[in-house]
Amino acid sequence: MTTEFILNNKTIRTSLSPGMSLLDFIRYEQYLSGTKIGCREGDCGACTILIGEPVNGGMRYKSMTSCVTPLGNARNKHVVTIEGVNFDERLNPVQQAMVDNGGTQCGFCTVGFVVSFVGYCLTAEKPDVEGAVSAIDGNICRCTGYKSIERAAADITVMLEGKDLENPIPWLTEAGFLPEYFNGIADRLRKMEQPKKPVNGRVVVGGGTDLYVQRHDDMLEEEIALIFDRQELNSIHMKGNSVVMGASATATDMMESDIMKGIFPNLYAHMKLISSTPIRNMGTVGGNIVNASPIGDLTAWLLALGTVITLKAPDGNTRSMPLKDFFLDYKVLNKKEDEIVHSFSFPIPDKDMRFNFEKVCKRTYLDIASVNSAVQMKVEDGIITHFCMSAGGVGPTPRILPETAAFLIGKQPGTALLTEAADIIASEISPISDVRGSSDYKRLLLRQLFFAHFLELFPELINPKELV
Amino acid sequence: MKNIDSHGHVTGRSIYLDDIPTQRGTLYSVVFDAPVAHAKINHVDYSDALQVPGIERIITHEDIPGENQIGGIIPDEPLFAEDEIHFWGQPIALIVGTSEHVCRKARSLIKIETEALPVITDPREAFAKNQLICPPRTFKMGEPDAVWDACTHVFEGRADSNGQEHLYIETQGAYAWEMENGNIKIATSTQGPTAVQRTAAKVLGLSMHNIEVDVTRLGGGFGGKEDQATPWAVMVALAAKLMHRPVKISVNRMDDMRMTGKRHPYSSDYKIGLDEEGHILAYEAMIYQNSGAAADLSPAVMERTLFHCTNSYYVPNVKATAACCRTNLPPNTAFRGFGGPQGMFVMESAIAHAAHEMGIPARKIQYKNLLKDGDEFSYGQIAEHANAVKAWDDASRTYKLSAIENEVRTFNEEHHTEKKGLAIQPVCFGISFTNTQMNNARALVHVYHDGSIHVSTGAVEMGQGVNTKMLQVAMNTFGVSANRVRLDTTNTTRVANTSPTAASAGADLNGKALEIACTAILGRLQKVAAEKLNSAPERITLKKETVYIDDAPTELHWEELVMTAFSHRVSLSEKGHYATPEIHFDKSREKGHPFAYHVYGTAIIVVKVDCLRGRYVFEDVNIVHDFGKSMNTIVDLGQIEGGVVQGIGWMTLEELSFTKEGRLLSNALSTYKIPDIYAVPEVIDVKHLETAGHELAIRKSKAVGEPPLMYGLGAYFAIQNAVKAFNPGYLPKFDAPFTPEKVLLSLYEGKEIGVKSGKGALES
């Protein structure tokens, strides 16, 4: 099978394994050595590239870490490496800002930052420093302490003033951010032959963000099935009284979805706690769930919403179950080997329903939780009428806390009640000590996050001085 | 002047080890390493691995023509394990094949049978069992035992600081090939090209002149490539010699983290005595360094711990003893600060302990005891140009310390679930290799007859901007523009017998050597100019590419001057040699004058702790730093900002974790967290302390690599102060890093909460 795409300004047709990591293809097959290898697990951003695809007559670019991207996911897209945004005779303004501010020391991470910033230039709708910094939230630098890079971000923001949001690419090429060839990419991609059949093997790969970390050495030779770009699995839409999310919708899709924004007022702040921009651009909701991690962030999120998961068998038959019943034991799922996760649906909450997501880890951003928790609850006339809280990192599977809910529902929230409920929580969990924290810590932390849910959602009902 | 390498960095055109174009026939390699921490090797079965298509050879200790020995200071570390394994991750064999992929596949098929031996991971246990790398050393001044009784306050306690993963973003790697006559060339990512050359010669059974080592640049070093870049380079050199093919290794991140040593964890006991006003009268420390399984640089690191055990303070009676304790962790090694930060942490802990007991802020004690001119360090050097008080006062004034104190107090009164903590961190750091003989360097300069200039020094560029500083030295000495000067790679055939680029001394030592070389050529050019212009050499200067007589420009341009010298058969090449004057140290007495000078500074750190969740953010880090006369403010600012963030990382998020069996748990970027852009202080402000600079610093611009890391120590104490503000029942402990876990447990220590199996107070 062949994979066809555009790499910078060059059309690529390759019959190499679609499971090869895009990073290896770029560096060792195409000899483009600007893209660096730092960790090979999407945690440092040294290998950041942009992947673009035609959308509504234009192009939509996203940053991704090429180390965990299967080559096959580049199909019919535009892959941009640092070499693709270099000019012969001068630096582009992003590069110039990094030079001027001393934003580079050893330089090994620098290319990743530059590419992420170029991605920001392409996507930014209201350029500001916060947004520019957010675009590099997946890039790790060990030398600079980031301050010089923040100063570069501020400069870049200024240079984007006046950006034409309708026609960003012509504006960016005119302003010298991008080489001319970018203007022709959308047409070239549209003319590219669509693949005749999907890549369909034994190992199902979505965004690759977990599989390529866990089984990196195997993926080159695996027979893989690529589902990242299957349209039927990508959408987020309303159906009746429910929201339906395809298994291949990414965390970014969730974050940018108008439906989600309408339901979750703190969507941006909460989603920011989950991985990083490039990983959110790649990581799928289905992948996060099917990975069965006891501390999957989206798992915790969806559990609190009373989500139903739908699986699809090769014969096309589907079956559904409450998500809470999907996790049987540590990394054991209620799923047959040949079934794939198809979609998720949860009831559209009414306007009095409130939602909160909490996550604590060593590093607040771009880290895996020690404990995470989401809650959906409703207080009517001073009485808790709905309470569904999930907890991750406190047992072999992500879970909801039914006994705590049963205890709370029908009661009036207050300090004494919450303190009593904390004891019930303690009886519902069984955390172990590991690299993410001791069991004592996780117990204490979940208690704190439980309190945090109330303090965040009903600050008027709780006196923190009595509680904490 | 901007960093001259930055154009290459932002365009991806800079060449790191893995970017070197490979030669035809290049083979790739992967290390097979020990799967246990301490054991006898009974048998290793390579047969299945050798069947993997693409595998060319598996090299073990039996294939070594020279010595199986890579120990630098003490010959106690084999390149490949023979009969015994001493740490988890110890190299046993090198698998060589047509791709890294096949080598990794082969590695998974190697079977090893071992017989377990007892594993030690705790340095105190190692000490108790007399597992020492070398005899302990003691620095002593005055007689603490004679003054304890005279002290109003005496406190004893324990301070622990964990190790730190270097996490250079470019992992270890090397590429070697055979040249004519059996000579070997090694391209490698090392801070110590000569160490690689010497060790490769020893292992391969060759002489140093048979080995050429070339280093273009490092994607980060931080000490992690001072000694520990050597084994990989030696392995591929060995493979290239045995196989007559180019062989490369680019160590995978998890392999790198598992197999390499880190900053040394330390565990120490301290005793501090103060008078009523808070003057420190006596200080005693027993310091256990977790050296890991072999010496590596541990004895030298331990020595610097002793040099810096009293940080910026004058203490009249000191007795500090340190021991390198052999454990079954990977041999720990150099890391920015080189043992200094660990020693200072003990002192700062002792002060914080005293302050807590005395019910005063630590800064009252800190300030009262700052070093002044004429004060003696425990190692006999007398403080000169001591800027400790000056830096503190300047910081206090510039950043309005009393206003910050008020602001923190008010905030804490008004907020319950959030508390702020303030700490001040003075730093005093000695510049020079503590091993006096290493304080020398050379530089080679060619002026080509078209006027362009080629510079080689022994300094390795790893992001610290030494190339830029070297270029500044050359262009300023010759009075030419930057584009005339090229900084070449660091290569053992151009500059020999180098000390590693380390100890913050790279720019000083190599810059001085370069200045000597350039000045010698300049002297000859002045003579040529004087002859041509009928003047005297001493009246000639070079500025703006033009010859000046008595500060008046002439018609004679740089290019013409050089061409004239060339046609007059004047040498346009020079090698400069520099050895730091004045320094000496007598190890038999542990006294001397080991440092060319000291660098001083003060940081004011404010943290805000979320007392509900145990998270924290650093709001402001305000620093007054003694740069001397900074020769490059952009480069030097970058060193301060990067250093302080690395120090804060060590004190907060970065948590090395080993099982008691000696297996590294924090073995990837997903489990070992260094600061990301949101984890760094919201504001880092750096102000230059106005000083005259130091003659022994290059162009009076003081060394800047390591000192700022130690500002990060204050992060620990700032958090601790915030915790104290929330939980009066908290008993201060000194056990870095202060992770969110420790913060939360400290916030609720002693409080009645129902989170354990039953109700009860959390243990302290």
- pLDDT beyond 90 at B214: yes
Kindly state the tokens that stand for B441: 């360097």
The B residues from 277 to 306 touching A (CB cutoff 8 Å) are none
- Chain A residues with CB under 8 Å of B719 CB are none
Predicted pLDDT at B752: 74
Any idea what the CATH number is for the domain that residue A237 is in? 3.30.465.10
One domain, residues A156 and A256 = no
Give the list of residues 6+ apart from residue B34 with CB closer than 8 angstroms, or none: B81, B85, B87, B88, B89, B90, B91, B92, B112
- Chain B residues with CB under 8 Å of A100 CB are 2
- pLDDT beyond 60 at B140: yes
One domain, residues A219 and A237 = no
One domain, residues A72 and A198 = yes
Asked if residue B737 has a cis previous peptide bond (ω within 30° of 0), the answer is yes
CB pairs under 8 A between A and B: 257
- pLDDT beyond 60 at B756: no
Contact by Cβ (8 Å): B280, B369: yes
A460 phi/psi in degrees, rounded to 5: -75, -15
- pLDDT beyond 90 at A425: yes
Any idea what the CATH number is for the domain that residue A17 is in? 3.10.20.30
One domain, residues A77 and A195 = yes
Predicted pLDDT at A109: 98
| Distance between CA atoms of residues B596 and B314, nearest Å | 19
Final residue of a structural domain among A347, A364, A380: A347
- pLDDT beyond 50 at B762: no
The predicted model gives B67-80 an average pLDDT of 97
Judge whether A468 is closer than 8 Å to chain B, CB to CB.
Answer: yes
Going from N- to C-terminal start, the domains of chain B cover 6-118+166-259, 266-433+590-747, 440-532+558-579
Q: What's the pLDDT band for B180 if we cut at 50, 70, 90? A: very high
Residue percentage of chain A with pLDDT more than 70? 100
Judge whether A146 is closer than 8 Å to chain B, CB to CB.
Answer: yes
Judge whether A66 is closer than 8 Å to chain B, CB to CB.
Answer: no
Final residue of a structural domain among A147, A174, A201: A174
Q: What angle do CA B362, B367, B371 make, to 5 degrees?
A: 130
One domain, residues A196 and A134 = no
Contact B170 A438 (CB under 8 A): no
**B591 bridge partner residues:** B586
Q: What's the pLDDT band for A467 if we cut at 50, 70, 90? A: confident
The predicted model gives B246-252 an average pLDDT of 98
Q: Which of A38, A102, A438 sits opposite B2 (nearest CB)?
A: A102
One domain, residues A316 and A367 = no
Taking only the tens place, the pLDDT of each residue in B103-117 is 999 999 999 999 999
Taking only the tens place, the pLDDT of each residue in B2-31 is 999 999 999 999 999 999 999 999 999 999
Taking only the tens place, the pLDDT of each residue in B261-309 is 999 999 999 999 999 999 999 999 999 999 999 999 999 999 999 999 9
Q: What's the pLDDT band for B225 if we cut at 50, 70, 90? A: very high
- Chain B residues with CB under 8 Å of A438 CB are 741
Contact by Cβ (8 Å): A230, A248: yes
| Distance between CA atoms of residues A42 and B669, nearest Å | 9
Would you identify the CATH topology of the domain B266-433+590-747?
Answer: Aldehyde Oxidoreductase; domain 4 (3.30.365)
* CATH tag, B6-118+166-259: 3.90.1170.50
One domain, residues A101 and A61 = no
B471 phi/psi in degrees, rounded to 5: -60, -40
- pLDDT beyond 60 at B757: no
Give the list of residues 6+ apart from residue B728 with CB closer than 8 angstroms, or none: none
Contact A111 B12 (CB under 8 A): yes
- Chain A residues with CB under 8 Å of B638 CB are 102, 105, 143-145, 148
Taking only the tens place, the pLDDT of each residue in B374-407 is 999 999 999 999 999 999 999 999 999 999 999 9
| Distance between CA atoms of residues A243 and A266, nearest Å | 18
Q: What's the pLDDT band for A200 if we cut at 50, 70, 90? A: confident
Gyration radius (Cα) of chain B, Å: 27
B134 phi/psi in degrees, rounded to 5: -155, 165
- pLDDT beyond 50 at B758: no
Predicted pLDDT at A201: 87
Judge whether A217 is closer than 8 Å to chain B, CB to CB.
Answer: yes
How does strand B317-326 pair with strand B280-292?
Answer: parallel
One domain, residues A233 and A342 = yes
B743 phi/psi in degrees, rounded to 5: -65, -50
Q: Is the dihedral of CA A274, A279, A285, A289 positive or negative?
A: negative
Q: Which of B217, B464, B613 sits opposite A360 (nearest CB)?
A: B613
One domain, residues A326 and A373 = no
Predicted pLDDT at B759: 37
Predicted pLDDT at B764: 35
- The total number of structural domains in chain A stands at 4
Residue A339 belongs to domain spanning = 228-347
Predicted pLDDT at B84: 98
* CATH tag, B440-532+558-579: 3.30.365.10
Residue percentage of chain B with pLDDT more than 70? 99
The predicted model gives A303-324 an average pLDDT of 97
Give the list of residues 6+ apart from residue B538 with CB closer than 8 angstroms, or none: B526
Any idea what the CATH number is for the domain that residue A455 is in? 3.30.390.50
Judge whether A214 is closer than 8 Å to chain B, CB to CB.
Answer: no
A77 vs A196, more confident: A77
| Distance between CA atoms of residues A222 and A18, nearest Å | 9
B6-118+166-259 matches B266-433+590-747 in fold: no
Which of B484, B525, B482, B498 minimizes the C-alpha distance to B443? B498
- Chain A residues with CB under 8 Å of B613 CB are 358, 360, 445, 448-449, 452
Contact B6 A99 (CB under 8 A): yes
Contact B3 A102 (CB under 8 A): yes
Contact A444 B653 (CB under 8 A): no
The A residues from 107 to 126 touching B (CB cutoff 8 Å) are 107-111, 114
The B residues from 364 to 423 touching A (CB cutoff 8 Å) are 416-417
Any idea what the CATH number is for the domain that residue A97 is in? 1.10.150.120
DSSP character string of A240-301: TTEEEEETT-BHHHHHH-HHHHHH-TTHHHHHHTSS-HHHHHH-BHHHHHHT--TT-HHHHH
The predicted model gives A252-276 an average pLDDT of 97
Kindly state the tokens that stand for A12: 């690529």
Judge whether A424 is closer than 8 Å to chain B, CB to CB.
Answer: no
Supply the ipTM of this predicted assembly: 0.97
| Distance between CA atoms of residues A306 and A291, nearest Å | 19
Q: What is the mean pLDDT of chain B?
A: 97
Q: Which of B5, B669, B678 sits opposite A44 (nearest CB)?
A: B669
* Distances in whole angstroms, Cα of residue A234 to Cα of each of A76, A200, A246, A317, B356: 17, 17, 5, 19, 58
The B residues from 214 to 273 touching A (CB cutoff 8 Å) are 217-222, 250, 252-253
Predicted pLDDT at B337: 98
Contact B217 A107 (CB under 8 A): yes
- Chain B residues with CB under 8 Å of A147 CB are 641, 680, 684
Final residue of a structural domain among A157, A174, A191: A174
Detail the DSSP E strand segments found in B167-252: 173-178, 184-188, 211-215, 247-250
Q: Which residue of B has its CA nearest to A220?
A: B101
One domain, residues A394 and A414 = yes
Residue percentage of chain B with pLDDT more than 90? 98
One domain, residues A287 and A165 = no
One domain, residues A126 and A263 = no
pTM exceeds 0.95, yes or no:
yes
